[in-house]
Amino acid sequence: MSKPLRIAMAGLGTVGGGVAGLLLNADGELAERASRRLELVAVSARDRAKARAADVSRLEWHDDAVTLAACDADVVVELIGGAEGPARALVEAALKSGKHVVTANKALLAHHGAALAALAEESGVALKFEAAAAGGIPIVKALRESLIAYGIDAVRGILNGTCNYILTQMEATGRSFAAVLAEAQKLGFAEADPALDIGGGDTAHKLALLSSLAFGIVPSLDAIKTEGIAHITPEDIAFAREFGYRIKLLGMARRTPSGLDQRVQPAMVRAGTPLGDVEGVFNAVLADAGAAGPFFFEGRGAGEAPTASAVVSDLVDIARGAVGAAFGRPAARLKTLSGAPPARVSPYYLRFNVLDVPGVLAEIAGRLAEAAVSIESMIQRGRSPGEPVSIVMITHECSESDVARALKVIAGSDKVLAEPCMIPMEAG
C-alpha cells in the first residue's frame, strides 16, 4: 500500500468534526478502498479550547487557517465557509503551493470557481467539491464523470432543505410561512438569519455549480434569476393541492432555443412525481441526460454525516490519483454567459386577491387575453359582495414575459388588493 495521504483541515464545526471523526477512527476498509491510509495531520479552528466529539489534541494545531497551506500535508480540506476572507485565502494558497483542495464551500466556488479551477490546473492538483452542491448526494461526480456520453439537457433540483421543510410543513399543517419558519429555527433546520435560504441565494450558489458541470459554463450568480419563498401563502399551497400539484423551491438549468435558462424560484410540481414527493429536509436532483434518459438522485442535503461522507469520498478519489478538471472541462474552455435568462414558456398558476364586485373577473380575463394569455382552469370562491376574495387561474402554456406584462396592468386596478402571485408549473 502506498504512503498515507496526509490531510490538513480548516474548520471543526459540525461537518469538520464529522470528517475528523471519520478519519481518526477509520478502519482498514477505508484504506483499502483508497489504496492508502487517509491520515489527518493538522487542523485549524477559531477556538482551540472548545470541546469536540473528535479528539484532535494530538494533531498539529494552526491558529491561522491560512498557514495550513505551508504545512506538511498533501491535501487541504476547507470547511470554514464564505466567499472571501480566510476561506478564499487558504484555498488559493494551498493550490499555489501544490496541495490538493477539498471544500464544501458553495459560496466560494459560485463566486470564484473558474479562477480556482484554473489555479488548480496550473499547479497540477485537484479541486474537489462533492459536498458543496447537495450534501451527501453524489451529483457532482455524476455530472462531471458519469452522465457525459450524450450531454445534459436539463438539471432541476430541490437544493435547500430548509425551504423544503418549510413548504412541506405549511402543506401538512396549514400554518403560515412565518410560523413554520420560527419552528424550523427552534429545531435547528433554519439559521437565526435565514435570508440566504428562504431568499433562494443558497440554492443559487448550488445551481451555479451544477450548471457549470452540466453545461460547461463559468459559475455565475448573475446569470441566475433568483426568487425565494417568503411570499408563498397557505392558500397557494391549498390551491396547488386542488390542482394536483405541490409547491417546491427549485433550482433549474435547461437548454432552450433561446439559450441556457437558469433560475431559482417556487414552482408547482405535479404530486406523485419524483420531485413532487420529496419531503422535509431532503434534497433531490433530476438530470435529463439526453438519450441516456432522466436520472433521479435523492438524499440528505445537509448535516454532519451526509456532508462528511461527501468530503471523505473526495479524499478517496484524490488518494486514488483522480485529479482532472474541477468542472469537467479545462477552466479556459468554460463559457461565460451574459445577460438575463431567456423568457420561460410554461403554464402558470396565477392568484389574484380582489374585491368581490361585478366585473372583476371579466377585467382580469380581458387583460390576460390582451397579452395572449389563455386560461385552462379557474377557481373563484366569493364570500359576500364587496369583500376580499381570491381568484385562481391556471394558464395554458405561454411566455413568462406575456404573463408578467398582463399582471403589471392588472395590479394597477382599483379592484385588485395585492400584487398578483405568479408561479410556473413543472411536470415533476
Cβ atoms 256, 164 nearer than 8 A: no
Place of cell 435558462: 261
Count of C-beta atoms within a 10 Å radius of residue 101: 28
Q: Is 206 a catalytic residue?
A: yes
Select which of 99, 206, 248, 415 is catalytic: 206
Phi, psi of 325 (to 5 degrees): -70, 135
Separation between Cα atoms, residue 228 and residue 232, nearest integer Å: 9
Q: Which of 334, 74, 102 is closest to 223 using CA atoms?
A: 334
Cβ atoms 408, 367 nearer than 8 A: no
Cβ atoms 5, 30 nearer than 8 A: no
Phi, psi of 283 (to 5 degrees): -110, 160
* The pairing of beta strand 5-10 with beta strand 38-44: parallel
Instruction: Indicate which residues carry an active-site annotation.
Output: 206
